Structure 1
Amino acid sequence: MTRTSPPALVTTRHSWHLVAEHVLAAGQFAASGTVRLRPHPGGLATTAGVGGRQLAVVGDRLVVTDGGTRHQHPLTTLGRAAEDAGVALGLRGSYAPATVPDPDAPLPVDAAAAHRLAGWYALGDTALRRLTAGLGAPAEPVLWPEHLDLALTVDAVNLGVSPGDDATPEPYLYVGPHEGPTSGDPFWNAPFGALVGADRIRTPDDAVAAFSAGRDRALTDRSRT
């Protein structure tokens, strides 16, 4: 993956997080009752849509697609993004948002950081689909706006990719058994299970191998209890 400075990555991730929760998920939940988002070329997007429109964040732009019409708007402030999307600002009625919907919050985006995050989601999406197809149970990963992670669950084990967070600023892959770490195996290196930094995951095949190893460990440990 392309290297980017930690400040640029954190700033870009936060801007995307604000829009994901308080514009995309907010508008979609009000219209369709779901907060589920998805990866999109260059960023992330709604799934069910908003009144026939699909909303996406692509780099430093908000993209609104209505039928055959596609409009792009620069990301400037959160309030302006909601206005451009035609939605009421702020996620309400679902989970307690992880970010604060300040309409004047600026939305700076670094091009290299955005490219890196979008590529990480694309890699994770390919790997998760490939893994579940190989298990005979194809599944569609979900990009959850609360933590901005792309994930699914297999055999009571959460598998996903994160763009980073307060505890781990760099993107990472994770394996999280529902019951938490299942043994004293050093593989379980996080309170929720295990994480693998994106610098160790170069291809979808690398990610599939990491997911498979974590799932197998969880199932083996579970069978011994």
Structure 2
Amino acid sequence: MDQESAAASGPDQYILATTRGRLHGIAECLLAGPQRRAGGGLALRVTPSGFATTGEPALRLDGTDLVLDESRRVAVGGTFGDLAELLGVEFGAPAGEYPDGSNEGSADDASLDPASARLIEAWFRLADAALRVMAPEVNPILWPEHFDVAILLDDTSYGASAGDSFHATPYAYVSSGQHGDSEFWNAPFGALRDYTQMGSIAELVAFWRAGQALLTARG
């Protein structure tokens, strides 16, 4: 599903938010948590069909399935604890790393709405591709704590979120403590644009570079 089609279909906000929270829980507690406990870092990566760990164990979300080491495939459903048991991993967020997160528990329902999952996964794919155009020398990271894909350039974050309590639908952002007060800066942390305004790689890159230019002009 491309961004224009997703916008036209008008996803149900409750269903979208529910699926976003569950995808966040998968990223944080079924991928990043096990990776961290195995001695790795927090960073995840966007893939053509979802997202994955960057180290061991080799876990990835493939659409609405979870895959371990390319040998075990589990359809997302039931509780988070059920999925952890089927995958053979310990459920839970990386311990002591950050104050915020998905707030999903092992007994919570992990079922995904396929259309909402496709929308969010497509948004991350588009943003990942655009970030690689924005800064080819930097690898975008999918961060499990805030569930966004981003890069850091000169102490400024350029990225895309699946949505959160501040802005319910997916959005692109420029986050900087040095932003000014022009109309471009429309959020407390900097600037954001809803996914419905960002339907292509070129539009995303143009937005991020506009923020970068404004910050550079401020010195």
Cα distance, 1:188 vs. partner?
0.6
Which residue does the alignment assign to 1:65?
A: 69
Which residue does the alignment assign to 1:90?
A: 92
What TM-score comes out, normalization by structure 1 length?
A: 0.88
Structure 1 unaligned residues grouped into runs of 5+: none
1:55-106 alpha-carbon deviations (Å, 9 max, x no partner):
112333212224xx34233332110121122221112243345133522100
Contact kept, 8 Å, 2:24 with 2:144, in 1: the verdict is yes
Residues 1:202 and 2:199 are matched in the alignment: yes
Residues 1:122 and 2:121 are matched in the alignment: no
Which residue does the alignment assign to 1:80?
A: 82
1:20-74 alpha-carbon deviations (Å, 9 max, x no partner):
1111111000113311111122321111121xxx1112333212224xx342333
Instruction: Give the counterpart letter for 1:205 in structure 2.
Output: A
Which residue does the alignment assign to 1:109?
A: 112
Cα distance, 1:108 vs. partner?
2.4
Contact kept, 8 Å, 1:164 with 1:170, in 2: the verdict is yes
2:12 and 2:79 mapped to 1: Cα distance? 23
2:96 and 2:86 mapped to 1: Cα distance? 22
Aligned pairs (5 A) from 1:10-89: 10-50=17-57, 54-66=58-70, 69-89=71-91
Secondary structure in structure 2 of the residue aligned to 1:22: helix
Which residue does the alignment assign to 1:192?
A: 189
Of 10, 13, 26, 1:6 maps to: 13
1:211 and 1:85 mapped to 2: Cα distance? 38
Cα distance change on mapping 1:195 and 1:101 into 2, 3 Å:
closer
Structure 2 unaligned residues grouped into runs of 5+: none
- Measured on the aligned residues, the alpha-carbon RMSD in Å equals 1.5
Number of equivalences: 211
Cα distance, 1:127 vs. partner?
0.5
1:146-168 alpha-carbon deviations (Å, 9 max, x no partner):
11000011122110000100121
Which residue does the alignment assign to 1:212?
A: 209
Identity %: 34
Secondary structure in structure 2 of the residue aligned to 1:215: helix
1:63 and 1:76 mapped to 2: Cα distance? 16
